[in-house]
Amino acid sequence: MTNMEVELARETRSGEKPEEKWVHDSSVDHRGRAPLRASTGVWKAALFIIAIEFSERLSYFGLSTNLIVYLTRVLKEETKTAAKNVNYWVGVTTVMPLLGGLVADAYLGRFSTVIASTLIYLAGLGLLTMSRFVPELKPSDGSLRVHETVFFVAMYLISAGTGGHKPALESFGADQFDDDHAGERIKKMSFFNWWNFGLCSGLLLGVTAIVYVQDHVGWGAADVILTAVMAASLLVFCHGRPYYRYRVPEGSPLTPLLQVLVAAFRKRHLPLPADPAELHEAPRTSQKRPLCHTGKLRFLDRAALVEGVPETKWVEVSPWRLATVTQVEETKLVVGMLPIWVGTLAFGLCVAQASTFFIKQSLVMDRRLGSFVVPPATIFALAAVGMVVAVVVYEKLLVPTLRAATGNERGITILRRIGIGMAFSVVAMAVAAVVETERRARATTAPMSAFWLAPQYMILGIGDGFALVGLQEYFYDQVPDSMRSLGIAFYLSVIGASNFISGLLITVVDRVTTRLGKGWFDKDLNKSRLDYFYWLLAAIGAANLVVYVYLASRYTYKNVQKRVASASGDDDDDDLEKK
């Protein structure tokens, strides 16, 4: 008998529920066995994971928020060119997780992907440090081109590292909570809130302490600190290895989706049965959570039509001709996400301005706080403060109240939470436009205090606390179980695609307004019309919000039929959970 079988026999004799002792969600411990619930996962494992996320966000925001300052001051780029380069770098950094998520889900596994991507990240930080200390690579009038080349190679190595790090780490953290256990499922809903609390802590330190070192000590000194912190956090992450729950990769999660599409197309002329129970479903196993049939996208149901093949022989039928109801529903989930993904791009457009034009505004404003001059990128910390406030208030006040009022475990649905955040982003752009108009009016007399930017940063940060956290939870929760790293990548790709669109929008607006006689983007910020650009973004966001509300009202959430092991040990068969 195996160790687990011996333990199960002992539990049976003692009356202890096996569901409470072991985790049966297809995860394994570091030795490849079924995990013990008491010694693995949940917060004891998640804290190690949040720690390395803290250091990664420290590095990312320490570099990204001051990037436009570096490009304009050190590399001597024009403001609009620097803004586009920042948008493109952030875009690549947040689109790369699509590849990283696929590798994590299909081949390496999430733990191994985090290790590999962190090493790539460290290589980028190391090269960035060398570009500040190696004489041949340091920026100077004679070797600015060499330094620029090495600098961008290092930055895009960091992008590649982030591409594997972000989707694998966040989904690995959420994997530490068992969806089939009522107590752990509630804790998972809090995980994304506290994950973002840790994220914002790294952000705050990055845009204050690290930016201060960059501006007052040196860029090289800051790079040394970031490299050392990242290396130390990797050691901490590895130390938590015995406490983690792991998911074994089972090949490309995209293949079953393609099989459903091919099977549905092959049987496109067959009539659909009136009773969905006639559609094919595989025998229930503990390794895969079955999904309930939904009435959306019914043409895909043809993939589960049995063509004169006895049900007992289903295993002999090619998966490219016959799919299960669960596979069909997983495909519907992915297809149904596309409109939501597109509907949140306008929100990402607003977020993109915080690390570009908002910071550039602070450069020409009065940043004195008594005798201390606040670094321009440090103003970005106000967005993190707003996000922390929103997360804490939502988690500690709103969720308990709304949970009691609505009966929903989350308090409100995920898409409503996202919509609230999107509304805040529209308000933030309108406030930014008003502040910029006032700043330009005062520019010829006395510079306006940079702390007038606080309202737009705070409002945008509050919006992030609703929308960004909601997007993370939505894309992790609603994708098929085998695609959860890719799910986090889908969320990040919203921000990435929005940054590309922002760069494109700047180019188009600049060309159109220049042809009309007065461009909105000038080398001199006081001659630019950022206020008009912010009003344009507010209008785009408001119009998009109307479309989003319509899409969200028609969305069908994932329906999982599963066995739920409660915290008390009770076992409820065939409990239908609407996510």
Domain parsing of the chain, residue ranges:
42-249+344-558, 254-281+288-330
Q: Say which residues have a Cβ less than 8 Å from residue 472's Cβ, sequence separation at least 6.
A: 170, 192, 195, 196, 488, 491
Q: What is the pLDDT of residue 142?
A: 63
Distances in Å between the Cα of 108 and the Cα atoms of 53, 75, 99, 322, 527 are 20, 38, 12, 28, 52
Q: 462 near 311, Cβ under 8 Å?
A: no
Q: What spatial distance separates the first Cα and last Cα of the chain, rounded to whole Å?
A: 38
473 phi and psi, to 5 degrees? -65, -40
Distances in Å between the Cα of 207 and the Cα atoms of 124, 152, 156, 202, 385 are 20, 21, 20, 9, 12
- Cα separation, 65 vs 396, whole angstroms: 30
- Cα separation, 184 vs 177, whole angstroms: 5
571: β partners: 565
Angle CA 118–122–127, to nearest 5: 150
SS3 523: coil
**C-beta contacts of 383-386 below 8 A and 24+ residues apart:** 383/354, 383/457, 383/458, 383/460, 383/461, 383/464, 384/200, 384/203, 384/204, 384/207, 384/461, 385/204, 385/458, 385/461, 386/457, 386/458, 386/459, 386/460, 386/461, 386/462, 386/463, 386/464, 386/465
Distances in Å between the Cα of 459 and the Cα atoms of 334, 344, 470 are 31, 17, 16
Q: What is the pLDDT of residue 563?
A: 52
Question: Which residue, chain included where needed, has tokens 């494109």?
Answer: 504
Count CB neighbours of 405 within 10 A: 10
Q: What is the pLDDT of residue 352?
A: 86
Stretches where the chain sits below pLDDT 70 are: 1-20, 141-143, 284-288, 308-316, 561-579
Structure tokens at 46: 């998640």
Q: 472 near 192, Cβ under 8 Å?
A: yes
Specify the fold of 42-249+344-558: Growth Hormone; Chain: A; (1.20.1250)
Q: 234 near 89, Cβ under 8 Å?
A: no
Nearest to 295 by CA among 253, 325, 320, 262: 325
Q: What is the pLDDT of residue 74?
A: 84
- DSSP string for 6-20: HHHHHHHHHT--HHH
Q: 175 near 113, Cβ under 8 Å?
A: no
Q: 436 near 531, Cβ under 8 Å?
A: yes
Q: What is the pLDDT of residue 10?
A: 53
Maximum distance among all alpha carbons in the chain? 86
Structure tokens at 229: 């912190």
- Cα separation, 545 vs 426, whole angstroms: 9
- Cα separation, 455 vs 461, whole angstroms: 10
Q: 247 near 106, Cβ under 8 Å?
A: no
572 phi and psi, to 5 degrees? -110, 120
- Cα separation, 43 vs 476, whole angstroms: 18
Question: Which residue, chain included where needed, has tokens 């411990």?
Answer: 29
Question: Which residue, chain included where needed, has tokens 């990240």?
Answer: 121
373: β partners: 368
Average pLDDT score over the chain: 83
